[in-house]
């Protein structure tokens, strides 16, 4: 009986890469089949029927579903390549359609608002529930399925990056897979940026509804929201006063609450001051130790100085880091 030959670490590493590549390729194929199936369900039982019945006008159909049909067609084009093992060619083809995903992301807010408006109508709501009750949907609702393309985009990036990383340079698919992974990462970043803009818009809208008084209108426009919370303002004389602060990318807004019994504006906040972060000098007076004793922050502006206190040292530390980030961001803008 012959003894086994010497181990070869290079061959073993290549074998591990090949096994991982095979598992990733199989996962990409199986999840693409499921993805196409779900895209097809929405297309067949919602888009096509709503168009045929004239329930939604073309503009409203576009508002709710965006480029759904084109995304489905792109998946139909990709799947045969994956089933035949033509990973590079298939994913190179997919990259030509990735602009659909940025369009889909940009339409998300409009899609959600339009769908919610239509779901308030009894006949439309009954139609949606009837379709969702079909066994093909497996209990999934339309609102669960509408974000599907953006979820799939993230899966594409994860799987294709893993596939490229486990494909050797001597493989015929290497160049196409590497380029596809890079392109998917770029598009995913664009979609994430769109998502952050949408979330910021929702936060600004929420904050605007909390503000009242003649100085409140338009205060949040064009800003990035960072943080809000209660802090104690320590005056030169007298007792500290509790105030609600809203921190934006370029400014700190100090407000005080109105009485809940106010006829028009009960439960809102009156704007007291808006401080430009580009002109702020920040210092932590105490609250460095990480204990439970709270802390004090000093914010110096050209014509005023604020002393802000919190009994929660961890919360104050988060405020310190957020304020530091806002100062850095606002100061950077001055150079441009």
The 10 Å Cβ neighbour count of residue 50 is: 21
Alpha carbon distance 185, 101 (integer Å): 12
> Do residue 224 and residue 139 come from a single domain?
no
The 10 Å Cβ neighbour count of residue 297 is: 22
* Residue-number span of the structural domain to which 249 is assigned: 213-333
Q: Of 197, 85, 194, give the one whose Cα is nearest residue 149.
A: 194
Burial of 232 (0-12, 13-18, 19+ CB in 10 A): middle
4 assigned to some structural domain:
no
Residue-level pLDDT, tens digit, the chain, 336 residues: 555 656 776 666 666 777 888 899 999 999 999 999 999 999 999 999 999 999 999 999 999 999 999 999 999 999 999 999 999 999 999 999 999 999 999 999 999 999 999 999 999 999 999 999 999 999 999 999 999 999 999 999 999 999 999 998 889 999 999 999 999 999 999 999 999 999 999 999 999 999 987 778 888 888 999 999 999 999 988 899 999 999 999 999 999 998 766 666 668 999 999 999 999 999 998 755 555 567 899 999 998 999 999 988 888 999 999 999 999 988 776 544
CATH number of the domain that residue 192 is part of: 1.20.900.10
Number of H helices, E strands in the chain: 12, 8
Q: Of the candidates 204, 224, 241, which is a domain's last residue?
A: 204
> Do residue 157 and residue 298 come from a single domain?
no
> Do residue 322 and residue 197 come from a single domain?
no
196 assigned to some structural domain:
yes
Alpha carbon distance 223, 91 (integer Å): 38
314 assigned to some structural domain:
yes
Tokens 């604020």 belong to which residue? 306
> Do residue 200 and residue 235 come from a single domain?
no
CA torsion angle for 99, 105, 108, 109 (degrees, to 10)? Answer: -120
pTM of structure = 0.83
DSSP labels, 173-197: THHHHHHHHHHHHHHHHHHHHHHHH
49 assigned to some structural domain:
yes
- DSSP, res 218: T
Per-residue pLDDT at 286: 74
> Do residue 14 and residue 116 come from a single domain?
yes
> Do residue 265 and residue 310 come from a single domain?
yes
Per-residue pLDDT at 217: 82
79 assigned to some structural domain:
yes
* Tokens describing residue 96: 């030509």
Sign of CA dihedral 199, 200, 203, 204: negative
CATH number of the domain that residue 254 is part of: 2.30.29.30
198 assigned to some structural domain:
yes
Q: Which helix (H) or strand (E) holds 219?
A: none
Are residues 157 and 189 in contact, defined by beta-carbon separation less than 8 angstroms? no
> Do residue 186 and residue 74 come from a single domain?
yes
Tokens 């949907």 belong to which residue? 137
Per-residue pLDDT at 213: 78
* Tokens describing residue 228: 């809000």
> Do residue 87 and residue 200 come from a single domain?
yes
Are residues 284 and 295 in contact, defined by beta-carbon separation less than 8 angstroms? yes
> Do residue 136 and residue 44 come from a single domain?
yes
Are residues 46 and 142 in contact, defined by beta-carbon separation less than 8 angstroms? yes
Are residues 231 and 294 in contact, defined by beta-carbon separation less than 8 angstroms? no
Give how many domains the chain has, as a whole number: 2
Per-residue pLDDT at 297: 94
* Tokens describing residue 310: 């919190």
> Do residue 53 and residue 159 come from a single domain?
yes
> Do residue 179 and residue 127 come from a single domain?
yes
Alpha carbon distance 198, 110 (integer Å): 10
327 assigned to some structural domain:
yes
Q: Of the candidates 150, 183, 204, which is a domain's last residue?
A: 204
Alpha carbon distance 198, 251 (integer Å): 20
1 assigned to some structural domain:
no
> Do residue 156 and residue 285 come from a single domain?
no
Sign of CA dihedral 259, 263, 267, 270: negative
Q: Which helix (H) or strand (E) holds 257?
A: strand 251-257
Alpha carbon distance 217, 100 (integer Å): 36
Are residues 299 and 273 in contact, defined by beta-carbon separation less than 8 angstroms? no
Q: Of the candidates 204, 229, 246, which is a domain's last residue?
A: 204
């Amino acid at each position: 009986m012959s003894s086994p030959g010497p181990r070869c670490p290079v061959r073993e590493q290549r074998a591990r890469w090949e096994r991982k590549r095979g598992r990733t390729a199989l996962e990409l194929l199986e999840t693409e089949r499921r993805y196409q199936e779900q895209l097809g369900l929405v297309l067949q039982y919602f888009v096509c029927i709503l168009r045929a019945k004239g329930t939604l006008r073309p503009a409203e159909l576009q508002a709710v579903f965006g480029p759904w049909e084109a995304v489905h067609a792109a998946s139909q084009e990709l799947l045969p390549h994956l089933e035949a093992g033509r990973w590079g060619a298939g994913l190179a083809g997919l990259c030509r359609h990735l602009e659909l995903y940025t369009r889909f992301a940009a339409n998300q807010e409009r899609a959600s608002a339009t769908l919610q408006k239509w779901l308030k109508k009894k006949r439309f709501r009954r139609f949606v529930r009837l379709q969702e009750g079909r066994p093909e949907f497996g209990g999934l609702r339309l609102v669960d399925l509408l974000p599907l393309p953006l979820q799939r985009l993230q899966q594409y990036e994860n799987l294709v990056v893993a596939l490229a990383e486990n494909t050797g340079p001597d493989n015929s698919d290497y160049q196409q897979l590497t380029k596809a992974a890079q392109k998917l990462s770029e598009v995913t970043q664009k979609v994430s940026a769109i998502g952050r803009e949408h979330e910021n818009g929702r936060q600004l809208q929420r904050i605007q509804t909390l503000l009242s008084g003649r100085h409140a209108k338009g205060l949040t426009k064009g800003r990035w929201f960072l943080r809000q919370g209660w802090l104690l303002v320590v005056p030169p004389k007298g007792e500290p006063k509790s105030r609600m602060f809203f921190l934006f990318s370029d400014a700190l807004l100090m407000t005080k609450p109105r009485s809940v019994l106010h006829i028009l504006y009960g439960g809102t906040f009156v704007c007291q001051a808006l401080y430009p972060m580009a002109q702020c000098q920040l210092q932590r007076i105490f609250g460095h130790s990480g204990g439970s004793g709270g802390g004090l922050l000093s914010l110096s502006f050209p014509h005023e100085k604020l002393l802000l206190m919190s009994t929660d040292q961890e919360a104050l530390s988060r405020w310190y880091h957020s304020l530091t980030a806002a100062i850095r961001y606002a100061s950077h803008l001055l150079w441009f």
